[in-house]
């Protein structure tokens, strides 16, 4: 099974944006050496706690500092942008790093409403045109736009012979429906805990239509995983992420990713503790053997071809160690 890394660029409490970006490169190199297949970075706007406002810039930087691992977006929020410009960006990245670039796309805003308004100032949102944007990307990447296309004679340069992999990212049945209809690979964000994920993945496989992008379905689940030598230590690693998502769910502004000291001093209510218990039910936390067993079982349940792992841990050393333990459990280097 292919395992990959999903990085959100959390700015840890007590650290700087520059620290985060340097640690991202270090983590990518670590993942490359350990045998992970892909390293994806997300897109967020107007957030004081998340640093990746431009995954394309990060992809260029990370790919230049790694050797083998595929590097991509997880993902570009396509309705904010022109499909033509996104195609140009990713063809240029592909020219720089042939066969190593992934384009994950989504249709979520990626930030608060004010950020969406700023990104779309002077134009309407492209959400309703999202399926057409995906079709346009395929045409631009393969230089095969339909003859009656509004930009039929246009080439998204530079013209290169290799093509980035295109993945639609989603957390609902609607995302699965669009991925199947447009013939893209599909990544389901299981770590959000949205119900109906297994049904969404089944719909994607059953209704997949071959396209210029893919001739058969290919799927992935994105999970939160925290691994340490003991269950107790792994549970401790997950606590900062639990408070971060708790605040996120309440719409609270966050300027950093909380430290364990902040978590320990937080006055949790009974309702908040129940919300955290619910979140723990769909996170993967444990020893290397336990994490391997849970990831394998979840991939089988979702009929996923690959798994990508987000591991938001305040201590960077503990995050590196968590991924090392997971890689060792799955014998990634031998694969």
Output the pLDDT for position 197.
94
Overall average pLDDT of the 23-39 stretch:
99
- Indicate the pTM of the whole model: 0.95
| C-alpha to C-alpha distances, 308 to 3, 66, 139, 210, 295, nearest whole angstrom | 6, 18, 27, 24, 10
- Centre a 10 Å sphere on the Cβ of residue 321 and count the other Cβ atoms it contains: 18
Q: How far apart are CA 189 and CA 211, in angstroms?
A: 23
Q: For the segment 261-278, what is each residue's pLDDT rounded down to a tens digit?
A: 999 999 999 999 999 999
Residue 254 has pLDDT above 90, yes or no: no
Distant-in-sequence, close-in-space partners of 113: CB < 8 Å, separation ≥ 6: none
Output the pLDDT for position 118.
83
Q: How far apart are CA 225 and CA 291, in angstroms?
A: 7
Per domain, the residue ranges of the chain are 2-330
Q: 68: which DSSP letter? A: S
Class of domain 2-330: alpha beta
In DSSP terms, 307 is beta-bridged to 3, 221
Cβ-contact 91, 160 below 8 angstroms: yes
Confidence band of 123 (pLDDT split at 50, 70, 90) = confident
Confidence band of 335 (pLDDT split at 50, 70, 90) = low
Residues found in the chain: 335
Confidence band of 119 (pLDDT split at 50, 70, 90) = confident
Q: For the segment 166-213, what is each residue's pLDDT rounded down to a tens digit?
A: 999 999 999 999 999 999 999 999 999 888 999 999 999 999 999 999
Question: How many C-alpha atoms does 190 have within 13 Å on its Cβ side?
Answer: 28
Residue 121 has pLDDT above 90, yes or no: no
Residue 253's region, left for phi above 0, alpha for psi from -120 to 50, else beta, is beta
Q: Which residue has the higher pLDDT, 125 or 179?
A: 179
Q: How far apart are CA 326 and CA 37, in angstroms?
A: 13
Q: For the segment 320-333, what is each residue's pLDDT rounded down to a tens digit?
A: 999 999 999 999 98
Overall average pLDDT of the 30-58 stretch:
96
**Token digits for 217?**
């379905």
Burial of residue 20, with CB atoms counted within 10 A of its CB: 0-12 exposed, 13-18 middle, 19 or more buried:
buried
Overall average pLDDT of the 224-236 stretch:
98
């Amino acid at each position: 099974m292919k395992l990959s890394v999903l990085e959100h660029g959390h700015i840890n409490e007590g650290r700087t944006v520059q620290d985060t970006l340097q640690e991202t490169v270090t983590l990518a190199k670590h993942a490359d050496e350990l045998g992970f297949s892909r390293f994806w970075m997300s897109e967020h706007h107007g957030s004081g706690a998340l640093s990746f406002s431009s995954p394309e810039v990060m992809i260029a930087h990370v790919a230049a500092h790694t050797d083998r691992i595929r590097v991509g977006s997880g993902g570009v929020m396509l309705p904010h942008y022109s499909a033509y410009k996104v195609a140009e960006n990713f063809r240029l990245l592909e020219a720089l790093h042939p066969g190593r670039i992934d384009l994950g796309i989504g249709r979520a805003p990626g930030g608060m409403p004010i950020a969406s308004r700023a990104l779309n100032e002077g134009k309407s949102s492209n959400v309703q045109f999202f399926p057409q944007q995906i079709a346009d990307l395929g045409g631009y990447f393969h230089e095969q736009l339909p003859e009656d296309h509004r930009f039929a004679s246009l080439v998204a340069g530079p013209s290169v012979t290799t093509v980035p992999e295109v993945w639609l990212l989603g957390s609902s049945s609607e995302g699965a429906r669009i991925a199947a209809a447009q013939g893209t690979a599909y990544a389901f964000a299981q770590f959000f805990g949205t119900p109906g994920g297994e049904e969404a993945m089944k719909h994607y496989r059953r209704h997949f239509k071959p396209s210029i992008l893919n001739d058969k379905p290919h799927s992935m689940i994105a999970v939160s995983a925290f691994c340490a030598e003991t269950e107790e230590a792994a549970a401790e690693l997950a606590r900062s992420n639990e408070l971060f998502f708790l605040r996120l769910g309440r719409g609270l502004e966050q300027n950093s990713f909380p430290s364990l000291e902040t978590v320990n001093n937080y006055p949790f209510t009974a309702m908040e503790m129940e919300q955290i218990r619910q979140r723990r039910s769909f996170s993967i936390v444990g020893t290397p053997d336990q994490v391997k067993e849970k990831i394998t079982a979840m991939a089988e349940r979702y009929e996923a071809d690959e798994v990508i792992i987000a591991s938001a841990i305040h201590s960077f050393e503990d995050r590196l160690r968590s991924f090392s333990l997971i890689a060792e459990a799955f014998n990634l280097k031998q694969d």
